[in-house]
Homo-oligomer: A and B are copies of this chain.
Amino acid sequence: MDLRFLQSLIAPAATKIAMVIMDGLGGLPLEPGGKTELETARTPHLDALAAQSALGLTVPVGPGITPGSGPGHLGIFGYDPVQYEIGRGALEALGIGFELGPSDVAARGNFCSVDAAGLLVDRRGGRIPTDVNQELAKLLRTVRIDGAEFFVETVKEHRFAFVMRGSGLGDALTDTDPHKTDAPPLPVRALKPDSEKAARLVNQFIEQACHLLADKHPANMILLRGFARFPRVPTYQELFGLRAAAVAVNGMYRGVARLVGMTVLNVDGATLADQFTTLEKNWNDFDFFYLHVKQTDTAGEDGDFARKVRVIEEVDALMPRLMALQPDVVIVSGDHSSPALLKSHSWHPVPTLLYSRHVRADGIAEFGERACARGSLGVLPAKDVMPIALANAQRVAKFGA
Tell me if A363 and B370 are in contact (CB < 8 A): yes
Question: In the complex, which residues of chain B have a beta carbon less than 8 angstroms from the beta carbon of A67?
Answer: 398-400
Residue-wise, chain A 74-86 has the 8 Å CB interface mask toward B (1 for contact) of 0000000110011
Closest to A66 in B: B398
A378, CB-defined interface residue at 8 Å: yes
How far is B8's CA from A85's CA once the two chains are assembled, in angstroms?
13
Question: In the complex, which residues of chain B have a beta carbon less than 8 angstroms from the beta carbon of A28?
Answer: 358, 360
How far is B400's CA from A95's CA once the two chains are assembled, in angstroms?
12
A379, CB-defined interface residue at 8 Å: yes
Question: In the complex, which residues of chain B have a beta carbon less than 8 angstroms from the beta carbon of A341?
Answer: 358
Main secondary structure on A side of the interface with B: loop
| Stretch with Cβ within 8 A of B (4 or more), from A111-119, A268-276, A306-314, A384-392 | A384-392
Tell me if B399 and A71 are in contact (CB < 8 A): yes
Tell me if B64 and A396 are in contact (CB < 8 A): yes
Closest to A32 in B: B52
Interface pairs (30), CB distance under 8 Å: A1-B63, A1-B65, A36-B360, A57-B378, A61-B399, A63-B380, A63-B384, A63-B387, A63-B391, A64-B386, A64-B396, A65-B399, A67-B399, A67-B400, A68-B400, A70-B401, A81-B399, A82-B399, A91-B401, A95-B401, A341-B358, A342-B358, A344-B398, A346-B391, A347-B388, A347-B391, A347-B396, A363-B370, A373-B378, A376-B379
Nearest first, the 10 closest Cβ-Cβ pairs linking A and B are A64-B387, A68-B400, A378-B379, A64-B391, A1-B62, A373-B376, A63-B384, A347-B391, A71-B400, A64-B388
Task: Supply 19 further A-B pairs (C-beta < 8 A) apart from A64-B386, A370-B376, A377-B379.
Answer: A1-B62, A1-B63, A1-B65, A33-B361, A63-B384, A63-B388, A64-B388, A65-B387, A67-B399, A67-B400, A70-B401, A71-B400, A82-B399, A88-B400, A92-B401, A341-B358, A344-B398, A373-B374, A378-B379
